[in-house]
Structure 1
Amino acid sequence: MDRPRRTDHDGLYQRPGSPFWWATWTDRTGHRTRRSTRTTNRRDAEAILAGWRLEAHRATDAQGLPVRTFDALMLAYLKGPSADKRADRDRYSAKHLYPAFTGRNLATLAPSDVRRYIDDRRAAGAQPGTINREIGLLSSALNYARREWDWAIPNPAAGRQLREPEGRVRWLSKEDATRLIQSAEAEPKAGHLADFIRLALHTGCRRDELLRLEWSRVNLDSRLLLLEAQHTKAARRRSVPLNATACRALASRIAFRLAHCPGSPWVFAHEDGSRIAACRRSFMSACRRAEITDFRIHDLRHTCAAWLVSGGVPLTEVRDLLGHSTIGMTERYAHLAPERVRAAVAILDVGDD
């Protein structure tokens, strides 16, 4: 028998590429919802659909209260304040949230729904950090709607963070970094890549802090980059000092700008002046040529921190340079400065025969 396809009629159907039964129904307001039942058993799917229909019927009661749906929440929240800064990460998280919550009346959202989502994502192989970011997006959006839009909805996603393993610390030696930069200089379609890597290694800035950097926030006389609150993950302003290597990388970008796009406001721009939005593909290509494995763009920031701590810079100063919100985030690099701890325990030898 042929498999049912997507339909405009209420009922169950199966989508190509999905093993689950999908449901579609229309509530009394005329709003149509399509949603995965997350089950391959037809009878179970019919029972789930019946429950959703009853829920939708109850949601449009005699009081005529508006139905606040997950779809409406995400559509508005992802276009709201600070959306541009977090767009890539949040869009990725929302992509996983939608199949589980699309069409859902938020007034009926329960802790069991969030627990079920977490269990399903873990069964699919998602890591705790990934799931936490997804649940965190849902919680933040719900809180924002409650606070800013006066939506009378619960937030069962609050406080449901999973325990995450200790943060990854992958960094390069100076020799490996030199090889990576040389490989980046040979990247045929990414003339900016070597300068991007140099700046990341010598400022500790995050990827988007650099790719969204405007020339108006670069002061070569004072040798500083200015990052306002809206440009940083921690939403705190910070100034980033520039060493000689970082200044040379910026001088290279200035030469490119003068030759191709003198009116562009962006430090990392295409020849037409538009902003370079991503460099992951060319970065991974350079890593492969340099025979550097298991290394991501964010690890350039780890490398900067590792070099600083290994060179004896106090953790508090590393925290301030990198813009960590707490010293705890910086302490993941403490093991790279064993001399600091050795000097501390040496005090215990005083007066010992």
Structure 2
Amino acid sequence: MPYKRDDSPYWWISFKTPAGRYVRRSSGTDDKAAAAAIENQARADAWKEKEWGVNPPRTFEEVIVPYLQHARQHQRSYETTAHRVKQLRKHFAAQIVNDLGGQSIRDYITARTQDGASAATVNRELAAFSAAINWCNTELEWALPNPVKGRTMKEPEGRVRWITRAEVDALCRAAREGRNGALLEDFVRLAVNTGCRKEELLGMEWRRVDLHNRLLYLEGEHTKAGKRRSIPLNQGALSALLGRQAFRAEHCPASPWVFARADGERAVSIRVGFENACKRAGIVDFVIHDLRHTCAAHLISAGVALAEVRDLLGHSTITMTERYAHLAPARVRDAVGILDGLSAERDEVVSRSRYAENPVRLISKEGKRL
């Protein structure tokens, strides 16, 4: 029997399938009679599936709603997934997933591209759709085709924007001129010297700061990859933390947050202040995440191994770190330098070989053998 929920304008259906599985989902309509008909059809499809082995049609909502319920409980990036689903819903709402094919996905790509979405954005949206289908096939034991597989767009090389040490200093001076300037300057210096992500720093608590051993501790719940790691602190990072410690002692000694406002509350966003500081410093096309790129670029340029940079930044694979490899030309220069030695050795061997074959022909102008 259809029922109403406070958080939805539509009627919901609920029943137990012959296989013993409970189904609770939105009918997608605010008409009770239509919702009852949808529920009866769903019951009939469940019976056919159990008794005849028929693969019943599944609408987009039937696939996406249970997946989102799962994602809400198990994904740290649930809000991002939900945002991507909004775009998918505009195109695939009320469509039968069983009937979707390659042309359906190409139509979606065309529509989103015309809207101005980048290849990376479209691919992430389609990845969410693919994940929902795969989840339903695994967890609900459905046998849905996955039209997304093998049909993503080619993405351009990942963006790597970084600034020099002099520009970092200029940015810090500009940050001090703005509102909450000390906080923003300390954030910039800590980000550049640790390579931490924005949320890893803004969510940093003092209990995870070890000034004695010069370490920051990140648990799996705080990192994008879900893996714990420790970040060593150099003098620049330590100075920024000592500045935050002095601010805390003066304004909010009970606050657990490293980047706290004067009232002790956590600083949630620094975007506006950061953008204004970039304008004052004359730095263009630069966002907060580029501070992380800057840290990696400085390390690679100084000759630090890619594997060590990977561990510091917390990349799950070396592939992510390899986008900075072009910043270490000295490493490649040393490699090709080996060819010079090989060429000299080869020339000497060839010369000796020619002399052994015909010593008479190798005569100098003075008439001496070479």
Which residue of 1 is the match for residue 175 of structure 2? 184
**CA distance, structure 2, for counterparts of residue 158 and residue 227 of structure 1:** 35
Select 1:156's aligned residue among 130, 142, 147. Answer: 147
User: Which amino acid in 1 is paired with 2:92?
Assistant: F
Unaligned ranges ≥5, structure 2 = 1-8, 15-25, 48-55, 348-370
Which residue of 2 is the match for residue 140 of structure 1? 131
Q: Determine whether 1:273 maps to 2:269.
A: no
**CA distance, structure 1, for counterparts of residue 95 and residue 219 of structure 2:** 37
Q: 1:87 to 1:146 in 2, by over 3 A?
A: same
Which residue of 1 is the match for residue 203 of structure 2? 212
**CA distance, structure 2, for counterparts of residue 147 and residue 267 of structure 1:** 42
Q: Determine whether 1:60 maps to 2:36.
A: no
Kept in 2, the 8 Å contact 1:70–1:101? The answer is no
Which residue of 2 is the match for residue 334 of structure 1? 325
Q: Determine whether 1:350 maps to 2:341.
A: yes
Kept in 1, the 8 Å contact 2:67–2:136? The answer is no
Which residue of 2 is the match for residue 129 of structure 1? 120
Kept in 2, the 8 Å contact 1:70–1:102? The answer is no
1:273-327 Cα deviation digits (max 9, x unpaired): 3322222222111111111101111111111111001111111211111122222
User: Which amino acid in 1 is paired with 2:222?
Assistant: H
What TM-score do the two structures reach when normalised by structure 1?
A: 0.76
Q: How far does residue 175 in structure 1 lie from its aligned partner after superposition?
A: 0.9
Which residue of 2 is the match for residue 237 of structure 1? 228
Kept in 2, the 8 Å contact 1:77–1:141? The answer is no
Select 1:307's aligned residue among 291, 298, 312. Answer: 298
Q: How far does residue 187 in structure 1 lie from its aligned partner after superposition?
A: 1.7
Alignment of 1:110-121 (within 5 A): 110-121=101-112
Unaligned ranges ≥5, structure 1 = 1-23, 35-52
Q: 1:164 to 1:192 in 2, by over 3 A?
A: same
Kept in 2, the 8 Å contact 1:93–1:134? The answer is yes
**CA distance, structure 2, for counterparts of residue 226 and residue 107 of structure 1:** 47
**CA distance, structure 2, for counterparts of residue 306 and residue 319 of structure 1:** 12
User: Which amino acid in 2 is paired with 1:82?
Assistant: Q
**CA distance, structure 2, for counterparts of residue 243 and residue 321 of structure 1:** 13
- Percent identity, aligned pairs only? 47
Q: 1:146 to 1:59 in 2, by over 3 A?
A: same
Select 1:169's aligned residue among 140, 145, 160. Answer: 160
Aligned positions, number: 309
Which residue of 1 is the match for residue 73 of structure 2? 80
Q: How far does residue 154 in structure 1 lie from its aligned partner after superposition?
A: 4.8
Q: How far does residue 101 in structure 1 lie from its aligned partner after superposition?
A: 3.4
What TM-score do the two structures reach when normalised by structure 2?
A: 0.73
Q: How far does residue 127 in structure 1 lie from its aligned partner after superposition?
A: 0.9
Q: 1:189 to 1:144 in 2, by over 3 A?
A: farther
Q: 1:59 to 1:111 in 2, by over 3 A?
A: farther
What secondary structure sits across from 1:239 in the alignment?
Answer: strand
Q: CA RMSD in A?
A: 3.3
Kept in 1, the 8 Å contact 2:64–2:132? The answer is no
Kept in 2, the 8 Å contact 1:70–1:103? The answer is no
1:198-218 Cα deviation digits (max 9, x unpaired): 111000111122122222222
Larger radius of gyration: 2
Q: Which structure has greater helix proportion?
A: 2
What secondary structure sits across from 1:200 in the alignment?
Answer: helix
1:133-192 Cα deviation digits (max 9, x unpaired): 212223334434544565665543344332111111111011111111111111214542
Q: How far does residue 130 in structure 1 lie from its aligned partner after superposition?
A: 1.1
**CA distance, structure 1, for counterparts of residue 73 and residue 144 of structure 2:** 19
Kept in 1, the 8 Å contact 2:63–2:136? The answer is no
Which residue of 1 is the match for residue 189 of structure 2? 198
Which residue of 1 is the match for residue 17 of structure 2? none
What secondary structure sits across from 1:80 in the alignment?
Answer: helix
Select 2:27's aligned residue among 25, 31, 46. Answer: 31
Q: How far does residue 340 in structure 1 lie from its aligned partner after superposition?
A: 1.0
User: Which amino acid in 2 is paired with 1:196?
Assistant: F
Q: Determine whether 1:98 maps to 2:89.
A: yes
Kept in 2, the 8 Å contact 1:71–1:102? The answer is no
Q: 1:251 to 1:158 in 2, by over 3 A?
A: farther
**CA distance, structure 2, for counterparts of residue 78 and residue 260 of structure 1:** 39
What secondary structure sits across from 1:62 in the alignment?
Answer: helix
Q: 1:258 to 1:77 in 2, by over 3 A?
A: farther
